[in-house]
Structures are given as structure tokens and as C-alpha cells.
Structure 1
């Protein structure tokens, strides 16, 4: 099949600017192939490269004596909890996919964050979530960030507005129920308790929900694993289900404004979840890691094979070469472009110590998992992709993974803050019936009990949950069977002390809208209070920054000020940031 000609229009469709394309050509020293263009487009997307937010994130406190793996080093941060034990934890978003296909979008979001944890060598023991949707009732309060529009002078405008509002409410209800069902499906089937979370409803999230998933795992210090392609000539293994066309270029999809047209066009960019397969992959990988046969491991999350190959090589300062003809494929006639950019779920890339391949095959066969040896580590410092021997991509790994363009965006304080600062309590109408108003207030879905959502989550599986959903913070017990297997399982179990871990996820977007700097501080302070009310002391923080288009100066100012507030509060509570996620371009198809 002939590849498309690289034209300015094709480059633009890959969300690369003219300047970025010129830098790409300078790195390669030539025009890119179609597959190389796709590879650069996903790795230099906002989702993978953090090209707008990376300068801001440097202000976060990221060090303490307890930090074993810090922010940005690996797939998740790791903190020492004493007695030779540690916890790996992280939060990530899956917003655009959930807006397009709520069930699969949310389910695969849970699956992705679970993989990030066991990729570090930890056994996942609990999950949390933070969700935002448009109003699901017709009596919702007026949003501070999206006031109700004035009625048009038309005889039918009243009826049409009512019908339009009913349609929006039904869509928000569909998104809410689909996301909750997707989270419940994946967590319950995988066998991990969902122990805490939060849900807010506001018109500003209409059509573009926020779906953030968190996971925590436990491991021994000596079980920490790195995602590095170490050891020249070490074989590279693919494990998990075959690669398909689902999730194609999902990272690029998450790095652009969501519109009705893009949502429909990118419906195929939503991955398909299989929690039962992920459970097998998790157990097989943890058993394999205990043998010492693994030199490095990385999940195929955002950008799939592209990200897992170039990032592992870049971290290790090596090269990597793979042959796509060896990659299991479930769709006929897949092109190299499709194979490299597919985000099919539950797949792992494993670098194995040469000479120990049979141990790897034996364990994967035991768990009835598909596997394939697809390449090897090289000394070239390049990511080379072949297909039946023909070179489809040849790119310097580190320049692709770590040297994406960085932008110092223009920041401007939004004009609406003038009205915010001018607000006084004299503008609030007098309360005529306090009891009735209180009942109305408590009935709003944002304030009311979230039992409908969390009762769908299994929060007691593995028998470690001490404080269930609905309290200030969840408390979970880490015990001997929470740990991954090791060489001496009996001794490890006998000498493992139990630990009680408190977890919470918090954030008030209204506070952030009214004052991003103070709102950022308040989010951290609220989380610290919830932990303190559960008898715990904050040890670390993982953050998920969900904002709109960073190219709009007012939105970038909000992001910058929020980061400044979070950083200051984390320093005050001695709770360093161990990692997290930045999700941008979260704007409703109908406007910000």
C-alpha cells in the first residue's frame, strides 16, 4: 500500500506546527516517512510531551527523604512507608475518550493507571476517581463560570430552550451513568477495590466530562523496576492481546479541542477494555519480575508501541530495534503507521536478560497469554522500526522522547476576575425560607450523597478496606498478601508488617475559577484535612491538572496560578509531588 505524500495539509492534520515540522526534519536530516510523521505527532503531542506545562511543573516540590522514585522519572512515583516497604501511586485522566464513549473511555482509564502501577513492580491494591459532569437535574444552580444565556426575542425561544436544556441533561445523565458503569466494570472485574472519590456537576463540563483515575500499589524496596531498555542485545518481548485499530492515535486526539466533528471522527480512538486480560497480564508480569529475568518493563499506554519503545531506550541511553511483522495483529492488512500508533489495551513491552527467554515464555504460557519476541536492544541510541526487514522509521530515541518543543505560553489575567473581586455580600438576595433553601441546597447532586455511584464499586474485595467510601478519606490495610511475589515467599510473608494507608482525592473547581492561586492551595489543604481527620499524616501528592486550551492566554494564566498554589501548599504540608498528569484542551463542544 502506497504511503500518503507528506504535504502541509497532512502535517497540519497531525497537529504539528510548521516550526515543529521543520525541527522534525532537522532531527532526521531528511523528509519523514508517513509512519515517522505519525510517531512524531503522538510523541510531541501535548498529552505525551507536556510541551506547554513542563516549565510550570518544575516549581513543584518533588524531593523528600521518603521519595524513592521521583516525579517524571518513571511511570509512577514511589514513597517509602517504612520496614522496607513502599507505595507506588499516580492519577491520570481519560477525558476525551469518556466524552466520546463514556463506558469504554472510563474503563480503559482505570486499566491504564493500574498498568502504570504494576509496571513499577507493585501490586495494585486500591483505586480512586475524581469526576466532573454537566448538570443531571433541571434545578441545578447557575454556574459561576457559565451563566445562563439570555432568552432570544422569539415566540418559540422559551420552548426551544427548555427542550435544548432537557436534551443536555439527558446527555449528561448518559455520560455520568456510562462513566460510573465503566469504572465499576473494570475495577470489579480486575479485583481491585474502589475506595474513594468525588463527583461534581456544573454546566462548564457540559459535553466534556472530567474523568480522573487513581491507583495505588505496594511493593518491597528491592522490587522497584525501571522502564529502561538496558543491556545491549537483550531481547524485547511483546505480551498481551494482539494489536488492533482501536485507540489509533488516542494521545493526539487527547491533545486537541473536542468538537462534535472531531468526536465523531475520533470515535475509533477510544480503546476497548478487557479487565480479565489485564488481571492475567498483571499476575504474569509480577511473577516474571520475581525471577530476575527482566531488565526493563513498560506498558503500552498512550502512543502504544511508539511510546514504550522510544521511552525505554531514551531512559537507558540505548537504542531499540523492532520488526512489526513479529507483532501480533488482530486486524488484517494493518499498516506500520497503524501498528505503531494503535493504543489497544492490556499490552506490555518487556526487555529480558539475554539467555533467560525460556523462563519468560514458560510464565506467559502458564497464564495463557499471547507473547512474541519482536526485537532487541541496540547501542545505536536510535529507535528503528522494520516491517519484514524494510525500515519504516529510524529516529534518535532521546530526541523523540525527551526533546519535544517547549513553549512558554502567554499568560493574561481573565477579565471576569474584576467582577469577582467587586462582589460583596450585599449582592446576595435575602433568604426568605431558610429551611426550604437548605433542603434545596442539600438536594443538588454535587452536595447530595454519592451512594448511587460508589455502591456500584466493589470496595471490599481483597479484604483490606478499613474505612469505606463516604468518609473523609479511605483507609486501606496493606498486609502480606498485598505484596508482589518474591524469591522467598514464605519468609517475605512471615516478616511483613501490616500498614494502614489513608487516601483522598479533592479539588473544588469553583474556588480555582474564582482565584486559581488560592484554589490550588485550597485543594491541597482540603486533602490534607481529610487525611488528618482519618488519623493520617500526608506523605506525598499526585496531581491531575485539567484545563482548557493553553494557547488562550487567560486559560494558561489559570493553569500557571493553580500550579503556583498547589506547589506552595505541598511545601507547607511537606507532601511532595511524586507525579501526576496534565490534561489540556478540555473544552465543551459548545464553548469553554
Structure 2
């Protein structure tokens, strides 16, 4: 063992306090050397140990009828989708790297999440992204967005992933700190899932993929470089893993991401409940002069660590060799209680893996937080005069970046995939026609105004989209993006958000099967660091069964009746309209009621199963007007609707009160539709009918849908 004198002062310089230093010494039975102290420093950091957040995310519901592996149990969530198959899906985030090198930050985010999915034996099939950028008019914002979108697209295309779009939003709080959240999903037969396979002494530990460099070594601020992806190697690596899994040649796979080899080996050790020996001289390097710390903690992309049985090693080497992927034996599982790293047969570090891994022995911090008092509901309509000219309001609203982008993505999705677009993105995953649906949902304005309620709305909105698409929601992943947890106000937002997610996910029976926490997301404002709005992103999985239940949001036929399920309300709280037209931003949350959401969802599911509706579309950002125009655009149809006398027109058109779905109904099915609605007891109203292309509201023409389409193209 290499012994180097270390002091408490050095430990504190590395972020380890006296209590932590004494704990390390006690657990390993001696004073740690410098390398060991550096390893503890990184493994106990916020990014790796989740020391501020773990106890809270550990409280999230993660079990359910279809859940095979929930949050904290594996590298990605595993959900039983029937017919002998599992869906594996995961969300990841590369916010900080994307703020420095947006192309590589976004590309490597896709690669990282893909390797987490394939580490469980599933072939990655699709990617969705949830992106946040600063003020839309800024040149920096345009550059960041172009590079991030290109990074996601380029990496996905090499892996033949179906890029299903997602959501893009703008807010000045992200001016210097973009949010790049990515969800990847794949499917694996039940008998091929790489989960909980028995690890025993004598099995070998291999490393495969890129040679190790100094990229992304966490904790080295002065020499830190953004890791760069190589989708060509990434694709070959994934193909090789899938071939080996078909041959039952792999026991376990760990993606080499944050804290690199140390984190992967520690994870293997705690799950095997035994020791691991690693020979650092066997790790292939792509540059000379690397320190041991850099080798162990590097975040070089396109790398994995595998556990294999001895008798399978030649098969493994052969498969990787044919793919021109370097693969080396670097160690073995041993009869011991520690992980040992050697160089030239000298032990340079020996550690207890249990002390290092999140959720096992890594220490947790009890951050200060407080209950966030609910705001007294404000009736904004009392003090805001009704617009005198709705033409002007609509012309301004259709040019709001957050609403333009939504239309642009939906139109592109329709044109490029030649599918019938739905509120959720639809994918058929095998020859049996198994149809899954996915969506990503986030609204940082709601979450800023009321973190608990905002989180619940994000989940309810994701559920509503899947229901409108004809699906049954099964499970969710989350990405929780916040400012510094050292700020009590920020950490209080985080705590309230987790409480909201827990409440809504349990209510809708959509367990949390995976996720990610990203702290220290801040922008510089006049030389001061200011936290972003709390930005929880929900990624949800659903299944459409039978596939004939698939429902689109587009209007099909002139003359079809348009109905609103749920109630119109005199409510403009938290809306794009309130912010953009009346300059009252970050105030209020729209009306929301969980019980009403569930009743409406159950009813719409019944209507779709009975084939009584031609389209179904959730009312969301921009309110009813944008819901109607989104359904009109794809086939060039329009609408003629009438507002109820008791609801002010701006609230009717642009309010964002929750629990509302717009459906279209053919004249032949109208009587049956009304019968089901009356029997249900759920509020509904007739809005009007589908036109040939004109947009009419309260007998006033607002042009043709073709004029609006030109604005977006």
C-alpha cells in the first residue's frame, strides 16, 4: 500500500469535514492516503452521492403491478409491457456541459442514457428531449439551441434511434444555463434482462470501448474538459453488447459515466456483496502522462465495465474484436470485502465500496428547508380589463416563442413520420405490433409559483396526454433541475417538488422507476448568481392496447362536432397570456383538481374504446385557442366555436385551467356520445364544429388556418 501523509486540512480542502475524515479512517482502519481521499471526495460529492437529495427521492413510490425495477434499483427503470417483454427507459441530463459545449454536451447526454438502457440488455429504440433556453431573441440562445438540437439529432441518427422530438421552452432564467434533459427507451425479452444476475468470486471484470483519457475528470476545475462522444463507437459498442447478451455471455454491465471506473467498480462490489481487484496497468489509455486519479475518475465516453464468467471471456473478446472495439481484462471479483486498485502489483488504493455508493454508505446532508406557503388565489380578471381587439391578441400570441415552437415540432413530426400525431409520441416496438407511447412534460412557471402543485400538474398533464392518445399510463422517470441546494429557498422548492411528485405519481398509479437530480443550475445576472426556476421534467411511459385504440389530436372531417370535456373557467393564472399580454409573469397557478383529472381520464378512455370520438387533445399552454388550432393545422381544417356567456372570452380562449380535453365527434356518433357523457356526470359542453378552414369565434372570423400555417413554416 502506498502511504502518503494526509491532514485534516487537506481533507477539508477536498470538501471532506472532520467528521467525514474520521469516519473514513475508522471504516478503513487507518488514515487514508491522498488517492483514497481524492476518491472519497468525488464519490461523496453532490453530483455522485446525491447527498442533499437522496433521502427525499428515496421516498418516491417506485413499486407497482408492472414494475420490475424501480428507481434506485438499477441503472434504468424496467416495466413489464406484456407479451413477454420489458420496456427499459431512463432520463438523463447534461445541463452544465451543454452550457459550455452545447453540441457535445447534448450528444454525450444521448450516449450516456443509451448505455444505461443497454446495460440492462435492452436495445435503445427512441429518444425524446426536453430543452430549456434563455430569452429567445438572444444570439447566444439561438446558438445554444441550434447546437443542442444538432447534437441530439446527430448522435441519435448514427444509432438509428427514432428521434421523436419533445418540448422546447424559453425563459430568461436559462440565459446562461440551458437545461438539456433526454429520455431514451428500449425493449428487451424477459429472459434477456440483465438484472440481478448472480455475481460470484472468480468472475472477470473487463473494460470495453474507448481508451481512457483525462476528459471530464470531476473535481479538476482547472483542467476540466467536456467529454466528447463518438456515436460510431457507441453504436458498435451497443451492437456488441446485444450480441453478447443473446449468447448469455454477460453477468452485469456498468456504464462508465460520473466518477468513471471507481463508481462502476464500487457498484459491482456492493451488488455482488464481495470484493473486486482491479489492475490499473491493464486499462487502455489514449494519452500518456495520466495520473492514477485521472485514470480512475475519467468520464471518457463510449466505455463500459462488464462482469463475465471465465469460460465466456474468449467469446466476449471475439465479439468486441470483430467490431474493432478494444476490450481488456482489468480485474476480477474476489473473496474479500474491499475494492483494491493496484499499479505494478502495488496496492495504490483499498476502499470499502459500501462507503462510496449512493444509497448505501455514502453520507447524506440534512439541508435546511421550510414549508412554502400557498399563495392566496388571485382573481386576475378583476383588475385586468378585457381586450378590446382579439385580433391583436391572437396575432401576438401566435408569435410567442414557447407556442411557436410547440406548433413547429408537431408539424415537423407529422410531415417527417407520416403518422397520425397524438398528444403523446407513439412507437410500435416489434413485429407483434406492441404499441407504446411516451411524453415529456414540464412547466417551470407553474413550479416556480407553487412547486408542489406545479409538480402534480406536470404528472397530470403527462397522464392526460397518454390517455388522449389511447394509452394507459404505466410509469415515469423524472429529471429534477434546480439551483444550489445550499440556498434554503431553492432546497425548499426541491422538497416541495418531490412531495408533489410523490402525491401525484401514487394517485395516478405511475411509479417513479428512475430519474436524475441536477443542482447548481444558475445564471449570471448583473454579476450575481441566480437560480433557474425549479424545473422538474416528467418522462412517462404508456401502452396502447389494443393498438386500434390509438387516438390522434387532428380534426378529420368538416362538420364534426367539437366538445369540451371538463369546465371552462374564469381563470388566467400562470398562463402564457397573462405573462405575454399583461406582463404579469411568474404569478399564479391555474385551477387543478386531481379527482377531476382522474374522472375525465377514465371517461375519455371509455369514449376511445367505444369509438365515439374522432380526436382527443389535452388543453395546455396557450389555452383552448391553441388546442383548437393545433388540431386544425395538419389537414387544413378550421373551427367555429362559441364562448359561454358566463366565461370571459380571454379566459375561455387563453386560460390554462387544468382538467380539460377537447374531442371531436362525428354527427353519426353524436347521440351515443352525449348519452355516455350524461351518464358519466362529468361536465362537458358543445363548443362548435369543424369547418373547411375558416377560424370563427363568437361569429367573428379570424382568418383561415392556411394563413396561420404560413406563420410557422
Bin for the TM-score computed over the shorter chain: 0.7 to 0.9
Residue 267 of structure 1 deviates from its aligned partner by: 4.8
Number of the residue aligned with 1:475: 426
Residue 52 of structure 1 deviates from its aligned partner by: 1.2
The 3 A distance-change label for structure 1 pair 569 and 233 is: same
Q: Distance between the aligned counterparts of 2:415 and 2:512, measured in 1?
A: 26
Q: How does 1:192-207 map to 2 (within 5 A)?
A: 192-207=161-176
When structure 1 is superposed on structure 2, of 216-225 and 430-439 the one drifting more is: 430-439
The 3 A distance-change label for structure 1 pair 458 and 430 is: closer
Number of the residue aligned with 1:244: 213
Instruction: Kindly indicate whether residue 243 of structure 2 is the aligned counterpart of residue 292 of structure 1.
Output: no
What SS does the aligned partner of 1:436 have? helix
Number of the residue aligned with 1:501: 436
Q: Distance between the aligned counterparts of 2:75 and 2:418, measured in 1?
A: 28
Number of the residue aligned with 2:688: none
Number of the residue aligned with 1:274: 230
When structure 1 is superposed on structure 2, of 343-352 and 64-73 the one drifting more is: 64-73
8 Å Cα contact 2:129-2:180 kept in structure 1: yes
CA deviation digits over 1:188-246, x for unaligned, max 9? 12211111311111111121111111100101111111377812021111100100011
Q: Distance between the aligned counterparts of 2:413 and 2:235, measured in 1?
A: 17
Q: Normalising to structure 2: TM-score of the pair? A: 0.70
Q: Distance between the aligned counterparts of 2:398 and 2:348, measured in 1?
A: 59
8 Å Cα contact 2:91-2:184 kept in structure 1: yes
CA deviation digits over 1:53-88, x for unaligned, max 9? 122123322111211112211101111111111100
Q: Distance between the aligned counterparts of 1:413 and 1:204, measured in 2?
A: 23
Number of the residue aligned with 1:213: 182
Structure number with the higher strand fraction is 2
8 Å Cα contact 2:215-2:224 kept in structure 1: no
Number of the residue aligned with 1:150: none
8 Å Cα contact 2:372-2:496 kept in structure 1: no
Cα root mean square deviation, aligned = 2.5
8 Å Cα contact 1:383-1:396 kept in structure 2: yes
Residue 430 of structure 1 deviates from its aligned partner by: 5.1
Number of the residue aligned with 1:342: 298
The 3 A distance-change label for structure 1 pair 69 and 558 is: same
Residue 26 of structure 1 deviates from its aligned partner by: 2.8
Residue 450 of structure 1 deviates from its aligned partner by: 4.7
Residue 426 of structure 1 deviates from its aligned partner by: 3.6
Number of the residue aligned with 2:337: 381
Q: Distance between the aligned counterparts of 2:460 and 2:229, measured in 1?
A: 35
Q: Distance between the aligned counterparts of 2:159 and 2:348, measured in 1?
A: 37
1:399 to 345, 355, 371: 355
Number of the residue aligned with 1:369: 325
When structure 1 is superposed on structure 2, of 421-430 and 203-212 the one drifting more is: 421-430
Instruction: Kindly indicate whether residue 520 of structure 2 is the aligned counterpart of residue 585 of structure 1.
Output: yes
Q: Distance between the aligned counterparts of 1:97 and 1:455, measured in 2?
A: 30
Instruction: Kindly indicate whether residue 124 of structure 2 is the aligned counterpart of residue 189 of structure 1.
Output: no
Please say which structure displays the higher CA radius of gyration: 2
What SS does the aligned partner of 1:545 have? strand
Residue 19 of structure 1 deviates from its aligned partner by: 3.3
Q: Distance between the aligned counterparts of 1:316 and 1:426, measured in 2?
A: 64
What SS does the aligned partner of 1:131 have? strand
Structure 2, unpaired ranges of 5+: 531-713
When structure 1 is superposed on structure 2, of 532-541 and 49-58 the one drifting more is: 49-58
The 3 A distance-change label for structure 1 pair 16 and 522 is: same
Q: Distance between the aligned counterparts of 1:425 and 1:4, measured in 2?
A: 70
8 Å Cα contact 2:266-2:339 kept in structure 1: yes
Q: How does 1:121-270 map to 2 (within 5 A)?
A: 121-137=121-137, 169-226=138-195, 230-249=199-218, 265=222, 267-268=224-225, 270=226
8 Å Cα contact 2:4-2:33 kept in structure 1: no
Q: How does 1:490-529 map to 2 (within 5 A)?
A: 497-529=432-464
Q: How does 1:27-66 map to 2 (within 5 A)?
A: 27-66=27-66
Number of the residue aligned with 1:315: 271
Number of the residue aligned with 1:409: 367
Residue 452 of structure 1 deviates from its aligned partner by: 6.3
1:440 to 393, 396, 400: 396
Q: Normalising to structure 1: TM-score of the pair? A: 0.83
Q: Distance between the aligned counterparts of 2:52 and 2:355, measured in 1?
A: 17
Residue 457 of structure 1 deviates from its aligned partner by: 9.6
8 Å Cα contact 1:71-1:578 kept in structure 2: yes
What SS does the aligned partner of 2:91 have? strand
Q: Distance between the aligned counterparts of 1:9 and 1:438, measured in 2?
A: 63
Q: Distance between the aligned counterparts of 2:257 and 2:81, measured in 1?
A: 28
Number of the residue aligned with 1:108: 108
Q: Distance between the aligned counterparts of 1:551 and 1:423, measured in 2?
A: 35
The 3 A distance-change label for structure 1 pair 436 and 364 is: same
Residue 549 of structure 1 deviates from its aligned partner by: 1.2
CA deviation digits over 1:412-434, x for unaligned, max 9? 2569x76x756744444653433
Q: Distance between the aligned counterparts of 2:3 and 2:200, measured in 1?
A: 34
What SS does the aligned partner of 1:580 have? strand
8 Å Cα contact 1:121-1:289 kept in structure 2: yes
CA deviation digits over 1:425-459, x for unaligned, max 9? 44446534332222222212111135767999999
The 3 A distance-change label for structure 1 pair 521 and 365 is: same
8 Å Cα contact 2:119-2:252 kept in structure 1: no
Residue 329 of structure 1 deviates from its aligned partner by: 0.1
Q: Distance between the aligned counterparts of 1:352 and 1:291, measured in 2?
A: 12
8 Å Cα contact 2:89-2:185 kept in structure 1: yes
1:547 to 482, 490, 495: 482
Q: Distance between the aligned counterparts of 2:453 and 2:53, measured in 1?
A: 19
Number of the residue aligned with 1:352: 308
Q: Distance between the aligned counterparts of 1:514 and 1:407, measured in 2?
A: 26
Count of aligned pairs between the two proteins: 524
8 Å Cα contact 2:8-2:21 kept in structure 1: no
The 3 A distance-change label for structure 1 pair 449 and 472 is: same
Number of the residue aligned with 2:283: 327
Q: Distance between the aligned counterparts of 1:274 and 1:108, measured in 2?
A: 8
